[in-house]
Amino acid sequence: MNIEKYSLGVGDRFGFEGAAQLRALQKAQAFGIDIVPVWNKSNREHNIIGTVPEDTRKAADTAVKTCNWKSSYYVDADHIGLATVDRFIPSCNFFTIDVADYIGNQTTSESVSAFVKDMSRFVGTLEIPGIHQPVAVTTGTVMDIAGKYLYAVDEAGKVYRHIAERKGADNFIAEVSFDEANNPQTPAELFFILAAIAREGIPIQTIAPKFTGSFLKGIDYVGNVGRFAQEFEDDLAVVAHAVNVFHLPSNLKLSVHSGSDKFSLYPVMYAAMRKFNSGIHLKTAGTTWLEELIGLAASGGDGLKAAKEIYVEAMKRYDELCKPYLPVIDIKKEMLPTPQHVASWSAEEYVAALQHNQSSSAYNLHLRQLLHVSFKVAAEMNGTFVSLLAECRTAIESNVTYNLFSRHIEPLFLGRSNGGSHD
Ligand SMILES: [Zn+2]
């Protein structure tokens, strides 16, 4: 099983928006860009909502049927490890093996020595085609990287083999992710991590490093875009070089997660992908639930009422709802509108505050982040929320498709500027 050049994370908290997302990919096809969907839902998300991996598989199969989707599609066991992988094995064919927590764990001095010996041919100046600066490598560099990452890669190998034994090595895509690490990996680190992964025999097709800057939930990238661009290009160069040197799968590509609306990065990513003729895997799925809220609010009546109630409840349960996401949100409480104020809003006012349109002065990124992490409130409304989703289906689907196509696919894959508001 080989993943295509371009792939995009889809799926959503409640599992109803697959068809509307696929329509965005079908629009891209009409422009000559083939992007395959990867339904992703993490273990944490399943636990908060009370769903199981089979539900994601069903949502994917249903959407594919509804839209008569002819290309490949995948279901991702997102951010799993040995402790959590088992229940994902029957329904998933893409596994994001997350070993960030193992970075820095002590490995044996024998395995460090063996790695350093194997890598001695790279000591000196490492010439990587397309990289901004040649990478100077000493024995010390390799030892440090081995000390920091070998344990984690070893763990990734265990998880990979655990899945391969149960599923068959040809029946799934393996990704290894380090994006939830504390610090970005340097080009040298990424190069030797890939070396270690190749030695471990993991045929990875996507790798998720950590990038510089802050990737917060539901809002734009916070950081130095120029620095990101350089780092991203260097990572593309390293991946392409490592594929040749270590005989990794030739379709190996970068996977960019963490945060959902990386709007300011899309133009530089587009340019870099053109420059290196490289593929990409992009995860974006988390904000689809906000498009559902926008659709509810835009529909007025009971939909708007429910959207307001969810905000009132989110304010009441602020600490509880934010707690699991504290490292990936940055909400200034004083910038949040009061529940009384929100209660007085028209449909247009609610939509304008929540919709990710940075050129609008009504857009409130604090409210957007709070609502992003408040899907639990909607999940607890059970039947009420689900029947409202059905009632407001037309408005919701048009927002979901528009958001994915115009705000994500157009800038990242077609090199066209960002969609702004939907009207
Ligand atoms: Zn991630």
pLDDT above 70: residue 378: yes
Task: Round to whole Å and give the CA distance between 413 and 7.
Answer: 10
Report residue 18 as tokens.
């697959």
Whole-number Å distance, alpha carbon 172 to ligand 1 midpoint, is 19
Residue 118: the pLDDT is 97
Q: What is the pLDDT of residues 303-327, one digit of tens each?
A: 999 999 999 999 999 999 999 888 8
CA–centroid distance, 151 to ligand 1, in Å, is 19
Cα(146) to centroid of ligand 1, in Å?
Answer: 23
The two three-digit tokens of residue 130, written as one number: 């397309």
How far does the centroid of ligand 1 lie from the alpha carbon of residue 398, in Å? 27
Strand 94-98 versus strand 253-256 pairing type: unpaired
CA of 215 to the centre of ligand 1 (A): 10
For ligand 1, the distance from its centroid to the CA atom of residue 78, given in whole angstroms, is: 8
Ligand 1 centre to CA of 278 (Å) is 20
| Residue spans per domain, the chain | 6-287+407-413, 289-402
Q: What is the pLDDT of residue 418?
A: 65
pLDDT band at 420 (very low <50, low <70, confident <90, very high): low
Query: What is the total residue count of the chain?
Result: 423
Å from CA of 183 to ligand 1 middle: 14
pLDDT(423) > 90: no
Question: Is 161 a residue whose pLDDT tops 90?
Answer: yes
CATH architecture of 6-287+407-413: Alpha-Beta Barrel (3.20)
**What is the predicted pLDDT for the residue at 422?**
65
How many angstroms separate the alpha carbon of residue 97 from the centre of ligand 1? Answer: 10
Kindly tell me the sign of the dihedral angle through the C-alpha atoms of 28, 32, 33, 37.
positive
Q: Which residues surround ligand 1, an ion (CB under 5 A)?
A: 179, 257
pLDDT digits (tens, 9 = 90+) for 224-248: 999 999 999 999 999 999 999 999 9
**Above 60 in pLDDT, residue 80?**
yes
Distance 42 CA to ligand 1 centre (A): 9
CA distance 268 to 253: 17
The two three-digit tokens of residue 101, written as one number: 């927590």
CA of 217 to the centre of ligand 1 (A): 11
Give the per-residue pLDDT at 42.
Answer: 86
Per-residue pLDDT, 285: 67
CA of 361 to the centre of ligand 1 (A): 31
Tell me: the pLDDT tens digits for 116-148?
Answer: 999 999 999 999 999 999 999 999 999 999 999
Report which of 183, 251, 243 is spatially closest to residue 213, judged by C-alpha positions: 183
Share above pLDDT 90 across residues of the chain, in percent, rounded to a whole number: 87
pLDDT band at 286 (very low <50, low <70, confident <90, very high): confident
What pLDDT was estimated at residue 129?
96
Stronger pLDDT, 325 or 382, i.e. the higher one = 325
Gyration radius (Cα) of the chain, Å: 22
